[in-house]
Structure 1
Amino acid sequence: MSAPTALPRLVITAPASGHGKTTVATGLMGALRGEGLEVAGFKVGPDYIDPGYHALATGRPGRNLDPHLCHPEQLAPLLLHGARTPVPADVAVVEGVMGLFDGRMGGDGFASTAHVAGLVDAPLVVVVDISRMARTTAALVHGLHTFDPDVRLSGVILNKAGSPRLVDEITAALEATGLPVLGVLPRDAGIEAPSRHLGLVPAAERDQAAGTVRRLAEQVAEHVDLRAVLALAHAAPPLTAEPWNPADHVSPPSPNRPRVAVAAGRAFTFRYAETDELLRAAGCEPVELDPLVDTALPEGTSGLYLGGGFPEVHAAELSANTALRTALADAIAAGLPAVAECAGLLYLCRSVDGVPMVGALDAEAVMTPKLTLRYQGLVAPTDGLLGPAGTRATGHEFHRTVVTPMSGDTAAWLVGGEADGFSADPAGLGHPTLHASYQHVHWAGHPRLAQAFADAVHDRAARTAAPDRPQAEQGPGAYDLDHHGDSDATEGLVDLAVNVARPAPPDWLRDVINASTATLGAYPRTDEAAKAIAAAHDVDVDHVLPTAGGAEAFTLVARAFTPRHALVVHPQFTEPEAALLAAGHRPARLVLDAADGFVLDPAAVPDAADLVVVGNPTNPTSVLHPRATLEALVRPGRVLVVDEAFMDAVPGEPASLAGADLPGVLVLRSLTKTWGLAGLRAGYVVGDPALVDRLRAQQPPWSVSTPALAATVACLTPAARAEAAAAAERFAGRRQALADALAPTGLVPAGDPRAPFVLLDTSALRPDRPAGWLRLALRDQGFAARRGETFPGLDASWIRVAVRDETTSAALAAAVVRCLG
């Protein structure tokens, strides 16, 4: 057993629903985060909606603590896991459920807030709505405080306070209880989240949700004594439990990484964070699918998970997406392993309230006025997708709909001896591939269900792989050239997958961008930006072209030229090759050797190559090719395209060809990386004026926005370039700090890294594990690294890691150690 873990924590409770637990808990999370603390948010019970607000307040996934859905002894491990994922939290705030002692009916308080607070040994703070009482507040608090001798309150927060006289009256009465009043929140209906037929409206469906959470945080920060709250949290004793780890409960059944499409978006907001973590630990790759907007399953989908949400609210939009409905119906009919819970069940029916849905189930769903909300015990009546006959689980129902019939020929579960849901083999494979039911199941409490589903997904992937070709070796076409780091950097993870240096531009640059919006009524003019680019690189203005980021420049190159023998030097940013392919070209690849440090030998480039694309410094290898190497590639009849997107992060830019008077050369630059402008799209081309003219002829009118042009001018002033140069020096130091932190783990950056990222070969760390295991394990530790297998020349054992501050590097190294342990 490891040493006890200190985790400051507290639980927010109330006498009953409606007193403001969510208001106070969410506001408290946001207020503490505003103090610079890392806050982990939790919800007692099965509710999915409140954790959505917690996630907005904390910037990390909201999680649930439910001793019915999981085992009681799992709650402390799950709390510790959530508190250290994606990064260690300074404090955990747990929102209770209903009233303090309200739990499972007939269970003597089982699964109540009091029960859970005892299981995780956390102080309790009670929130009381005082809008309709005075001294009785003290009697109510006294009763809660003394009802169960094993449950003691630690403080009180008064909510919806009116006059100061009323507050004074209540505060004086509470003195008899010995409990401190930690805060008094005034009436403010504007900070309450609106309700829906199942409770609060999910945060993902509220355009103003972030503003609501911000106002909650401001209210709590102003009216609650945060120091006193933190003192209570720090009084919680250390926990002796081991943190929960999904890899302890499931394992990959094959070395492949099959994709599972996971329903998301506004219509499907209900899913436990541990579901994705278990799937990853079982060797699957969850990929979010928004049924409101996506028209096809993600490429390579081998499994489908449709969780909870409100399809009945979005029925018209879901129905209008006929392309996806058809694709899902066809895939399920062909045997795609599919799990559908509650909202997923409704979506797979023929219709919801008469509106056509997917039709994978021969059933109809309708809204009713009756709320079904209950815990259930579940038993699998026959062998199914989630396990053999007799498999037992616990679940909960939460809906106002009825499906007719309630079950198919074979039920998904027996609930109290009654058939519930659908288990089916639509493709006639001899075993069920479809499981659909109202029952929500927390897979952390029943990981064998996750393992059974993952086994089916891996089996499906193996059966549908191209014949006579191993799935992991699909040849050139297997590289997903359209995959980028932002796909790996999902919400709640420490982002080491995207190479943008800052989350937002600096204040002075933001002011420039904001000021430019005053002229948005006029069409953009590139004159000033072109002059600024020319001045920065000491060339004439006809040598430059502002672009909407590097991506537009690659597209212009692909359209402007008709090479007979295009060649891309790899491993390299995949967008240039993707653009060439989209334009009808078939580029060859020159793949550099990791054993040589990804060094480029000019002699390896064929003489016939008439368009050559190379990155410098190269993404993902971080290698900086010497200027002389690139100059050796220049020759008559050849266009040399050099992607210098990260050159401004190299101190002194010693290898840059921008500004060099070299015929046949185009240098592509980006302002995205250093200045935090990924969402604005600002870049430019510098090079041979005849070639630049050909790009200009392909560029659509006004493709670069006025704010992007203003940012371009601002980022190329002498002061801004000096700031960028200073940042480049910091990158160099932080890159070395990252390498030093990782060295004891056995991870050594490839080659001679010079960019604000490093490429790491993980294959030697645990050769018994399948390629890619460490990246997935790091996700479960809360870190997003850029996968390597989408770069030609690399495989899943490679990861790219962005350079961040020394604290983040140390935390990453510690996470690697935990993964290896």
Structure 2
Amino acid sequence: MTVLPRLVVAAPASGQGKTTVATGLMAALARAGHVVSGHKVGPDYIDPGFHALACGRPGRNLDPHLVGEDRVVPLLLHGARSADVAVLEGVMGLYDGRVGADGYASTAHVAALTDSPVLLVVDASAASRTVAAVVHGVATFDPSLRVGGVVLNKVGSRRHAAEITSALQRTQIPVLGALPRDAGLAAPARHLGLVPAAERAETAALVERLGERVAEHIDLDAVLALAGSASALEAEPWDPAAEMRVAGEGRPVVAVAGGRAFTFRYAETEELLRAAGCEVVAFDPATDPALPEGTAGIYLGGGFPEVHAEALTGNEPLRRSLRDAVAAGVPTVAECAGLLYLSRTLDGSPMVGAVGADAAMAERLTLAYPTATSPGDTLLTRAGETVTGHEFHRTQVTPGAGDGELGPAWTAEGRTVGFASGTLHASYLHVHWAGHPHLAQRFADAVHARAERSPIPAETSPKVSGTSDDLSSRAEQATSRPVEPLRHHGDVEVRGQGVADFAVNVYAGPRPPWLDDAIHAGLGGVAAYPDATSAEEALAALHARRPEEVLATAGAAEAFSLLARLRRWRRPVVVHPQFTEPHAALEQAGCGVSVVACRAEDGFVLDPAAVPDDADLVVVGNPTNPTGVLHPHATLDRLRRPGRLVVVDEAFMDTVPGEPETLADSVDDGLVVIRSLTKHWSIAGLRAGYLLGSAAVVADLRRGQTPWSVSTPALAAMTALATPTATTESRARAERLVAWRSALEAGLTARRIPHVASATSFVLARPGHGAHAALRDRGVAVRRADTFPGLDGSWVRIAVRPPATTALLFSALDDLLDDLHHQPHHARGEA
């Protein structure tokens, strides 16, 4: 039995405001400190994108047609793991389901399967007392459903709301809130519904406004009480690992299309592939120059390529890379938008050309809930097998199925659709693989088999290089990884090179004289064994903590080693990409490390729900090295669990003015914060750092520390850096870094080099494969990023420097880009 507070947000019809209220409720409850899980009834991809923004965890779909009735509750419980409450947004009218199927797959059907109370949203803009009649009819149509509350949407005034509320008294269904008319809360729509959240930069602000309005006008306590009235569920959470087997050695890369053009896919698809031993790596067909390094499988989901056709067409290197990969037999699945992208043209714009068909916008919308049959053996299917799926598009491809070399993918409703072979499956049909896990297994099997032979041939991956006569050697130099990548550090990039240093994140400026004086004074005491007492007292005062909650360490590296040996960790998790030292320390301590990967397409933002519930140690950087992402402390708070230790590496927090997201002042047995003083103060050689935790945890760590591991000069520096003078100077340095970083990011943007918005003293950029070596040839050292788990050789980390120094980087980049532009086509690997 599983207790999960939950409710279904439904309406009498479409357009009543379900998405507004459901998303607003999720945002408001999350802002109030609750862990909220968002779900959508039906196959829709767009609303779950808004849910994900509101909840800070993936939005999930619940659809009996797609996954079968028996999987609806397990998928709900899986998506809502560790959540305080689940909010399920309905589809269409409450009782509207598959046509001709007596309400099958309707919101009412899912509410019954999950035994969830219903919160009914009614658009009151054109009625008053009649609203009560509508609510009464909806609530009594099926007595087995419990409509437990009403939210009035678009009320004109308090008097209007009071009139409706009075009329509803005879139904004995309480009004839990009334939202006034507010055109500013409407999300824009186009030919297939709302514009996806991932395509609108202002979406996060819209979701926040929704949360504020809902908190102001809806009784959240009453909503929680209604959700809490839901009965316990007799089911176990769905587990992707139970559905799949690992098909081979290693973790072959499945390249998954993302970015603004490809926003539609079910979260469970990636989870199944990971459970089958694949590494899922996102790429953006509009901007990335090549498929991810080592790609052994490709998944192109849904989205709006017709809206972004110009950008997709303009990225000719990626189109060529993908066309060559499909031709070379790399297992490829394409659904709907993926099919359009693989076609020769889309409304006349050149696409990949891997499928012999042309796509164009159509006059009529195709919306179907078919059961499809496979006419033959393909990458995913066997002849005669059936699946359930859905179609939702306003385009058509010609021919609609097969192209001479490829057979049809499906037969459905008397027609053949899509294109398929032993290595390709492309059609309009969206299939939820959690309902048909054998499809995911076959794809994973093919990916593993491909990886054992070879991943994408090298010639399909264009590389940036500094010369026109030696591309291959530069690429080889750039992609050969160090023997121990987890122990590779930026200082290696500049040793003995005589190059401009953009690789090491040490602050580019002299130390304050008072800090040098303190260090020199510390040298006077080196005849005696070091005593950390004074330094720890000073650091405790700095953070308004007790001295027994502070442990001075020989840099962050010692802290990670102490934590790795603190307990016999059952399932330690490291959130990547991030500083590799904690991962290396855990492996050295004999721990098997689980990795949670933040995705480039999400801006490397952490999803707390991606961390396994049974993780007893979680390590995350903030701001994170190398991405520069600053995670909100509210996000990190969601990682906390009984029996779990959360370690937040704040080695670069002092580079953020005001340190707004620090957890250094939070005392909890389940939290340790690590700080470093080496980079911001240019004292990397002193190894000066410390950790903050509860007195009990710090005492345990202290017992594992080698005596006198922190030198007297390092302790003298710590004491000096805990003074008001140091605090003032630290903020001034941080503010200078902000100005320098802005100039760096502006220059990268002007050169159309993709990069991640950073909050710290470095920027993660993606100039392409071979750029690391090519820049070094031009006298500029940047930090290679392929030694960070989750990144490949197309990324580099660039340290923030004063504008005069940054000009050297820009000059080298301009030279590199100019060289590349003037190379003959064959030298750039072009056909």
Please state which band the TM-score falls in when normalised by the shorter chain: 0.5 to 0.7
Per-residue CA deviation, residues 57-91 of structure 1 (Å, 9 max, x unaligned), is 0111001000011011111111111011xxx1111
Whether 1:320 and 2:314 are equivalent positions in the alignment is yes
Equivalence for 2:428: 438
Equivalence for 2:304: 310
Equivalence for 2:90: 96
Matched AA of 1:781 = P
Return closer, same or farther for 1:465/1:449 CA change in 2, 3 Å cut-off: closer
Return closer, same or farther for 1:761/1:178 CA change in 2, 3 Å cut-off: same
SS for the counterpart of 2:368 is strand
**Cα offset, 1:577, TM superposition:** 4.1
Return closer, same or farther for 1:343/1:465 CA change in 2, 3 Å cut-off: closer
Return closer, same or farther for 1:100/1:363 CA change in 2, 3 Å cut-off: same
**Cα offset, 1:418, TM superposition:** 2.1
Tell me which of 161, 177, 184 is aligned to 1:190.
184
Sequence identity percentage = 55
Whether 1:18 and 2:15 are equivalent positions in the alignment is yes
Q: State the alpha-carbon separation in 1 of the partners of residues 395 and 382 from structure 2.
A: 29
Q: Taking structure 1 as the reference length, what is the TM-score of the superposition? A: 0.63
Tell me which of 438, 446, 468 is aligned to 1:448.
438
Matched AA of 2:278 = C
Return closer, same or farther for 1:720/1:324 CA change in 2, 3 Å cut-off: farther
Equivalence for 1:203: 197
Q: State the alpha-carbon separation in 2 of the partners of residues 574 and 264 from structure 1.
A: 30
Matched AA of 1:722 = L
**Cα offset, 1:93, TM superposition:** 0.5
Return closer, same or farther for 1:182/1:731 CA change in 2, 3 Å cut-off: farther
Per-residue CA deviation, residues 548-599 of structure 1 (Å, 9 max, x unaligned), is xxxxxxxxxxxxxxxxxxx9998524444466799999xxxxxxxxxxxxxx
Tell me which of 353, 356, 362 is aligned to 2:347.
353
CA contact (8 A) 1:342 1:437 kept: yes
Equivalence for 1:708: none
Equivalence for 1:70: 67
Return closer, same or farther for 1:582/1:11 CA change in 2, 3 Å cut-off: farther
Tell me which of 583, 586, 596 is aligned to 1:760.
586
Equivalence for 1:808: 640
Per-residue CA deviation, residues 617-659 of structure 1 (Å, 9 max, x unaligned), is xxxxxxxxxxxxxxxxxxxxxxxx99889xxxxxxx9xx9999
Q: State the alpha-carbon separation in 2 of the partners of residues 575 and 271 from structure 1.
A: 37
Whether 1:572 and 2:487 are equivalent positions in the alignment is yes
SS for the counterpart of 2:15 is coil
Q: State the alpha-carbon separation in 2 of the partners of residues 126 and 748 from structure 1.
A: 41
Matching of residues 52-63 of structure 1 within 5 Å? 52-63=49-60
**Cα offset, 1:774, TM superposition:** 7.4
**Cα offset, 1:772, TM superposition:** 7.0
Equivalence for 1:626: none
Please provide the CA RMSD for this pair.
4.2
**Cα offset, 1:445, TM superposition:** 0.6
Tell me which of 100, 103, 125 is aligned to 1:106.
100
CA contact (8 A) 1:44 1:97 kept: yes
Tell me which of 327, 333, 354 is aligned to 1:333.
327
Return closer, same or farther for 1:172/1:277 CA change in 2, 3 Å cut-off: same
Whether 1:743 and 2:568 are equivalent positions in the alignment is yes
Matching of residues 705-784 of structure 1 within 5 Å? 722-723=542-543, 729=549, 743=568, 745=570, 759-761=585-587, 779=610, 781=612
**Cα offset, 1:416, TM superposition:** 2.5
CA contact (8 A) 2:326 2:332 kept: yes
Q: State the alpha-carbon separation in 2 of the partners of residues 576 and 216 from structure 1.
A: 47
Q: State the alpha-carbon separation in 1 of the partners of residues 643 and 258 from structure 2.
A: 30
SS for the counterpart of 1:450 is helix
Return closer, same or farther for 1:158/1:447 CA change in 2, 3 Å cut-off: same
CA contact (8 A) 1:481 1:574 kept: no
Q: Which runs of 5+ in 1 are unaligned?
A: 425-431, 468-476, 484-566, 586-610, 612-640, 646-652, 663-717, 766-770, 788-802, 815-821
Matched AA of 2:587 = D
**Cα offset, 1:781, TM superposition:** 2.4
Matched AA of 1:370 = R
**Cα offset, 1:809, TM superposition:** 6.4
Matched AA of 2:487 = Q
Equivalence for 1:222: 216
Tell me which of 140, 144, 147 is aligned to 1:146.
140
SS for the counterpart of 2:307 is coil
CA contact (8 A) 2:560 2:585 kept: no
CA contact (8 A) 1:732 1:754 kept: no
Per-residue CA deviation, residues 499-531 of structure 1 (Å, 9 max, x unaligned), is xxxxxxxxxxxxxxxxxxxxxxxxxxxxxxxxx
Whether 1:9 and 2:3 are equivalent positions in the alignment is no
Matched AA of 1:464 = S
Matched AA of 1:273 = A
Matching of residues 395-794 of structure 1 within 5 Å? 395-408=389-402, 409=404, 410-424=407-421, 432-464=422-454, 571-577=486-492, 722-723=542-543, 729=549, 743=568, 745=570, 759-761=585-587, 779=610, 781=612
SS for the counterpart of 1:288 is strand
**Cα offset, 1:440, TM superposition:** 0.3
Q: State the alpha-carbon separation in 1 of the partners of residues 338 and 453 from structure 2.
A: 25
Matching of residues 97-136 of structure 1 within 5 Å? 97-136=91-130
Equivalence for 1:564: none
Return closer, same or farther for 1:254/1:233 CA change in 2, 3 Å cut-off: same
Q: State the alpha-carbon separation in 1 of the partners of residues 494 and 50 from structure 2.
A: 40
Q: State the alpha-carbon separation in 2 of the partners of residues 192 and 118 from structure 1.
A: 30
Q: Which runs of 5+ in 2 are unaligned?
A: 458-474, 508-514, 525-537, 554-558, 598-607, 621-634, 647-831
Q: State the alpha-carbon separation in 1 of the partners of residues 347 and 483 from structure 2.
A: 54
Q: State the alpha-carbon separation in 2 of the partners of residues 316 and 659 from structure 1.
A: 64
Q: State the alpha-carbon separation in 2 of the partners of residues 225 and 340 from structure 1.
A: 44
Q: How many residues end up aligned between the 2 structures?
A: 570
CA contact (8 A) 2:96 2:107 kept: yes
Return closer, same or farther for 1:738/1:216 CA change in 2, 3 Å cut-off: farther
